[in-house]
């Protein structure tokens, strides 16, 4: 018997659950499908949101040849064979055959390049499905030839509708007396993934030999015996959660930062990855407002590498709270960015002669190092002289920000330079 998720796979848009922003009444994708003129597009969204189902519905609606490739197991040769077959079939249909590529982000550059000509010439209409950000994983020429549609995780109402449909419409589940008393665990374990919801429901029902199955949170949790947290260390959620973590630190919210830290720990994130992000945050977001933040972040990194899990969570939490609670400044971060932009704009300007070393007689004769003033020979270990190339004299790249530490630096710079 087929799995429940396959048995319930919808064959029309009217039976398709979720993604109303794309396939609801008057939505962009529904209008395109109903018009019969479908252009190549990429479906980007988490697992279990209906990407493959949508591609199948489109092919059935248009009544065109439908080719499927899985990027994990297919190579350039497979792509070319499908394109050749599609080119032959093109003569027997008003519409281009559809080539559906699941996990298209796993295609390398040469594999993606092999699609370009066929897509551009209309030999195939490409529908790609990916769980990864296409901006990073799909080559620009291919992405520019495709529309991009973003699918969302199913919300609570969508999942409950799917649950109700499964119990009432599936030929096997209808024969069982299923009573849904609680749904919190079912929804939590599914994490917005329709396939996970149906797989969980099927597991719970099949594990109970009694004619009546009463679904409760306790029963679902007991049957699954797994981590209910949806966290893919190699997927989009990985980047979303670390982004939320860093932004909570930057926003001076230790509670939010600790929550996202816990999500990463429970999800099995590499502790070195978390520690590296703390070091970056200490430099980028706290910076000169509290230079000790970088020391704390580095110490946490060292501690985690020495002691590992589970105790490593403690120095990570300590550093997280310290960084989130610290005053913030990105003046050093902005300063180096400004300097890099200036270098890109002005090119390789010559180093002023007085700043060059003169290890040889010829260099001394050419004026290298002539006029350089050794700062430690002067009062307060400072003397005014030029340190920028001639063309950039007077340029200010570092702008101190208002906090106790940088206020002191600013006053010192005013005292020394008079600006």
Q: pLDDT tens digits for 110-162?
A: 888 888 888 888 888 899 999 888 887 888 888 888 999 999 888 999 999 99
Pick the CATH number of 352-417 from 1.10.101, 1.10.3470, 1.10.238, 1.10.3710: 1.10.3710
pLDDT in tens, 84-115: 888 776 655 567 888 899 888 888 888 888 88
CA dihedral 328, 331, 332, 334 (to 10 degrees): 120
H-helix segments, 121-253: 134-137, 140-144, 156-169, 184-190, 194-206, 217-224, 236-250
Long-range contacts of 383-386 (CB under 8 A, 24+ apart): 384/416, 384/417, 385/354, 386/352, 386/354
Q: Which helix (H) or strand (E) holds 63?
A: none
Listed by start position, the domains of the chain span: 19-150, 156-224, 236-325, 352-417
Residue 65 has what pLDDT? Answer: 81
Is it the case that residue 299 has pLDDT exceeding 90?
A: yes
Mean pLDDT of 168-189: 87
Residue 79 has what pLDDT? Answer: 83
Percent of the chain with pLDDT over 70: 94
Q: Edge-to-edge strands of the sheet including 41-44? A: 66-70, 98-102, 125-130, 41-44, 147-150
- In angstroms, the CA 313 to CA 388 distance is 45
pLDDT in tens, 229-272: 544 555 556 677 888 899 999 988 889 899 999 988 887 788 88
Closest CA to 104 of 147, 81, 133, 65: 133
Residue 209 has what pLDDT? Answer: 66
Mean pLDDT of all residues belonging to the chain: 85
- CATH architecture of the domain formed by 156-224: Orthogonal Bundle (1.10)
- CATH architecture of the domain formed by 19-150: 3-Layer(aba) Sandwich (3.40)
- In angstroms, the CA 263 to CA 238 distance is 10
- In angstroms, the CA 81 to CA 344 distance is 46
Q: Does domain 236-325 have CATH number 1.20.272.10?
A: yes
Q: What share of the chain is helix, strand, coil (3-state, %, to 5)?
A: 55, 10, 35
pLDDT in tens, 363-410: 787 888 888 888 888 888 888 888 888 888 888 888 888 888 888 888
Count of Cβ atoms closer than 10 Å to residue 315 Cβ = 22
- In angstroms, the CA 285 to CA 228 distance is 33
Residue 91 has what pLDDT? Answer: 56
Residue 240 has what pLDDT? Answer: 78
């Amino acid at each position: 018997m087929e799995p429940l998720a396959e048995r319930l796979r919808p064959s029309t848009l009217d039976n398709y659950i979720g993604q109303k922003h794309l396939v609801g009444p008057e939505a962009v994708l529904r209008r395109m499908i109903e018009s019969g003129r479908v252009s190549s597009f990429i479906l980007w969204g988490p697992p279990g949101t209906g990407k493959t189902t949508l591609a199948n519905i489109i092919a059935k609606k248009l009544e065109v040849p439908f080719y499927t490739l899985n990027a994990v197991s297919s190579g350039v040769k497979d792509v070319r064979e499908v394109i050749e077959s599609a080119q032959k079939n093109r003569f027997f249909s008003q519409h281009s055959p559809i080539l559906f590529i699941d996990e298209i982000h796993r295609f390398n550059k040469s594999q993606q390049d092999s699609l370009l000509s066929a897509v551009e010439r209309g030999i195939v209409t490409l529908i790609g499905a990916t769980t990864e950000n296409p901006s990073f994983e799909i080559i620009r020429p291919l992405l520019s030839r495709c529309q991009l549609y973003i699918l969302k995780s199913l919300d609570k109402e969508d999942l409950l509708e799917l649950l109700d449909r499964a119990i009432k419409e599936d030929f096997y589940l209808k024969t069982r007396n299923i009573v849904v008393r609680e749904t919190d665990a079912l929804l939590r374990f599914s994490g917005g993934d329709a396939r996970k919801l149906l797989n969980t429901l099927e597991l719970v029902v099949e594990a109970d030999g009694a004619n009546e199955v009463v679904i409760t949170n306790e029963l679902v949790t007991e049957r699954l015996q797994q981590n209910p947290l949806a966290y893919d260390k190699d997927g989009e959620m990985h980047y979303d959660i670390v982004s939320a973590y860093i932004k909570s630190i930057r926003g001076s919210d230790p509670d939010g930062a600790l929550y996202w830290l816990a999500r990463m720990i429970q999800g099995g994130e590499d502790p070195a990855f978390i520690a590296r992000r703390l070091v970056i945050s200490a430099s980028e977001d706290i910076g000169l407002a509290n230079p000790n933040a970088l020391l704390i972040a580095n110490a946490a990194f060292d501690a985690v590498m020495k002691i590992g899990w589970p105790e490593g969570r403690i120095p990570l939490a300590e550093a997280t709270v310290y960084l989130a609670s610290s005053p913030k400044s990105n003046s050093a971060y902005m300063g180096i960015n400004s300097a890099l932009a200036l270098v890109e704009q002005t090119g390789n300007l010559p180093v002023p002669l007085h700043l060059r070393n003169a290890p040889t007689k010829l260099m001394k004769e050419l004026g290298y190092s002539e006029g350089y003033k050794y700062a430690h020979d002067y009062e307060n270990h400072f003397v005014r002289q030029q340190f920028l190339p001639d063309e950039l004299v007077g340029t200010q790249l570092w702008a101190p920000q208002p906090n106790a530490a940088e206020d002191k630096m600013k006053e010192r710079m005013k005292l020394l330079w008079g600006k």
